[in-house]
Each structure stands twice: as structure tokens, then as C-alpha cells.
Amino acid sequence: MIQVNSIVIPRRFVAICSEWYSGVDCMLYAVASTGGLTTGTTCTISVFKDSEDRERRWYLDLWCKLSCDISYARSAAIESLKSANDRYFNLEDCTDSEVKERFDDWAGASASYDVLSEFEGWVDNSVIPRLSESYGL
């Protein structure tokens, strides 16, 4: 059985969280600020409070919430990429430094989207199914 709080998030995913969290109530913020995802000490979800497998259910729930937050961040990255794409391909009357700046914006948005997509795939296709199977949930 997979131990609660035992999954290590790869550094490239932790790093991207600090760029895309939307506030302190976001799971990306939890990952960015702690370097991982753990249950903590106080479960605020009443449905889990009296359950024998409370810690496991809570841990799985945190990963599911992280998945949702990654999805929102990936959607925001798509919008950022579209905006950078529009700026990059509209280069009339741009100086060389403006072209470079626009390319850097586009390249950064593209890289963020790629890492967020990989992170989402790892959580949705590896972590959550493994936890669900391991915990029998």
C-alpha cells in the first residue's frame, strides 16, 4: 500500500506551480510553498473525519484537487500562449529587441503549457489511479 504523504513530486513540476498558482487556497500554492503535497495535521473535510481510512481518502482527495488546479492553470497557459502567439506573429514595425521580447514571451508560454500538460498527465494517469488502486477506493 502506498503510504500517505509519500509521493515525491518532480522538481520541474514543483517549479511550474510557483508560476501558476492563483492564491493560497490553490493546491499549486501548496506544492510551490512546501515542495510536495501532504495532508497536514487538521482535516477540514467533515466526510473524512470519522472514517477508518480518513488519511488515505484525504490524501487521494488532495491529489484530485491538485489535478483540477493543474487543469485550470493549463487553460490559463493556453490563453497566455494564444496572446503571445498573436503578439509574436504581428511583427510589423517592430524593432529587433521587440521581436526578441515577443519571441521570449511566446517561448515561455509554450514551455509552461508543455510542463503543465506533462504534470497533469502524470497526476491523472499515474498518481491518482495508483492511489485509488492501492487504497481500494
Query: What DSSP line would sit under 20-42, residue for residue?
Result: H--STTSHHHHHHHHSS----S-
Of 3, 7, 9, 12, residue with least CA distance to 116: 12
Q: Element (H or E) spanning 67, and its range?
A: helix 54-88
Residue 73 · residue 117 · CB < 8 Å: no
DSSP assigned state of 23: S
Sequential pLDDT tens for the chain (137 residues): 899 999 999 999 999 999 888 888 899 999 999 999 988 766 666 655 666 788 888 899 999 999 999 999 998 888 877 776 666 666 666 666 766 666 666 666 778 888 999 999 999 999 999 999 999 98
Report the predicted TM-score, pTM, of the whole model to 2 decimal places: 0.81
Cα 83 off chain centre by:
21
